[in-house]
Amino acid sequence: MSAIVSNTNNAIGNGASLKVDRIRVGYGKTVALHGISLEVGAGEIVALIGANGAGKSTTLRAISGLLKCAEGQVTWGGQSITNWAVDRIVAAGIAHCPEERHVWPNMSVQENLALGAYLCRSKAEIERRIGIAFHRFPRLKERSRQLAGTLSGGEQQMLAIARALMSEPRLLMLDEPSLGLSPKMADEVFDVVREINRHGVTVLLVEQNVHNALSVASRAYVVETGRVAASRDAASLLGDPALLNAYLGGEALA
Ligand SMILES: Nc1ncnc2c1ncn2[C@@H]1O[C@H](COP(=O)(O)OP(=O)(O)OP(=O)(O)O)[C@@H](O)[C@H]1O
C-alpha cells in the first residue's frame, strides 16, 4: 500500500479536530437533527451508529455543507466552518463519501478519479494523485479505462473512497461504505479504512453494520431521532448488547 500523500493544500486541517456543537438541521419544515454534538479528534476513527432514520447521514451532510444548520456550530481546526459552501469545506480538508457511492457510471475509473480533484488546477498534480490512488487500489489501476458503471459493487465502493481521497482530505467522512457488499468485500473496505487512517487521515464513519463499525472505530456515538443518545468507546459498546439493543433494536448486531 502507498505512503499517503502529504497534504499541502489545506490552510487548516493538519492535526485538526472536528467539533459539532448542538446543530439543528432540517429538510424544509421537518427537523431531522435536534441539537447533535460530537467531536472527532485528529487521527481518530469515530463511528455514528443508530437505527434507520436516526439522522446519521444528515449529520454528515451538515458537516460537509450539503445541508445548512439552522442552529449550532461546526468547528474544524478551531475555526467555524458552519454553513460554508461545499467547495470551501473540501478545500479546508474535509471529504464526504456519500451513501450509495454515486460514481459517474458512464465515465471511466480514471475520469471519476480526476473529477475528485476538481478543485485542483494542475494537470500534473491530478496525475500524481491518480498515481497514488492506483498504488493504493491496484484493482482500480487494472480497470482504469473501464466505465465505472460496469464495476462490481465492491469496486465501485473502492472507487468512491479513492475519489474522495483525491482532494487529499485530513478528515474523510464515509456513509455506509459496506452497504450491499458481501462480508468479504466489506472486510476489504474496512481494511482500506484502517490503512487510510494509519496514514494520518481522520475518519468519521456512518455504518449500518454495528459490529463492523465498532471493530474499526475507537469511539462511537449512538444517534437516536436526531439526538446523541450515548457516546462510548467502541469496545465498551460492543460489550454492551443490552444498550445496543435498546437503541438499535434487532438490527443491532446483525
Ligand atoms: N431528502 C430528505 N427530505 C426530507 N426528509 C429527509 C430527507 N433525507 C432524510 N430525511 C429525514 O431525516 C431524518 C434523518 O434521516 P437520515 O437519512 O439522516 O437518517 P440515517 O440515520 O442516516 O438513516 P439511514 O441509516 O436509514 O440512512 C429521517 O426522518 C428522514 O426521513
113 lines ligand 1 (CB under 6 A): no
Q: One-letter amino acid identity for 101?
A: R
Instruction: State which residues of the chain have pLDDT below 70.
Output: 1-15, 250-254
CA of 55 to the centre of ligand 1 (A): 6
Measured by CA distance, the residue closest to atom 5 of ligand 1 is 27
Give the number of C-alpha atoms closer than 13 A to the C-alpha of residue 139, restricted to the C-beta side: 15
Ligand 1 pocket member 32 (CB < 6 A): yes
Rg (CA), the chain: 17
Which of 56, 178, 223 to mutate to test ligand 1, by most ligand atoms within 8 A of the CB atom? 56
Report how far ligand 1's centroid is from the alpha carbon of 9 (Å).
33
8 lines ligand 1 (CB under 6 A): no
pLDDT value at residue 100: 76
How many Å lie between the centroid of ligand 1 and the Cα of residue 226? 10
Instruction: Set out the domains of the chain in order of their start, with CATH numbers.
Output: 18-103+169-248 (3.40.50.300)
Q: Which of 20, 24, 27, 174 has most ligand 1 atoms within 8 Å of its beta carbon, as the pocket-test mutant?
A: 27
Instruction: Give the per-residue pLDDT at 8.
Output: 38
- Which of 30, 36, 66 has most ligand 1 atoms within 8 Å of CB, for mutation? 30
Residue 250's pLDDT is what? 59
For residue 30 and ligand 1, the question of a CB distance below 6 A is answered with yes
Residue with the three cell numbers 476513527: 45
Residues 113-167: pLDDT tens digits? 999 998 888 999 999 999 999 999 999 999 999 999 999 988 999 999 999 999 9
Q: What whole-number distance in Å separates Cα of residue 204 and Cα of residue 146? A: 30
ipTM: 0.94
**Ligand 1 atom nearest residue 99's Cα:** 27
- Beta strand residue intervals within 16-101, DSSP E: 18-27, 30-40, 45-49, 71-76, 79-80, 94-97
How far away, in angstroms, is 230 Cα from ligand 1 center?
Answer: 19
Q: How many of the other CB atoms lie within 10 Å of CB of 153?
A: 13
What is residue 254's predicted lDDT score, i.e. its pLDDT? 52
Q: In this structure, what C-alpha cell is assigned to residue 23?
A: 446543530
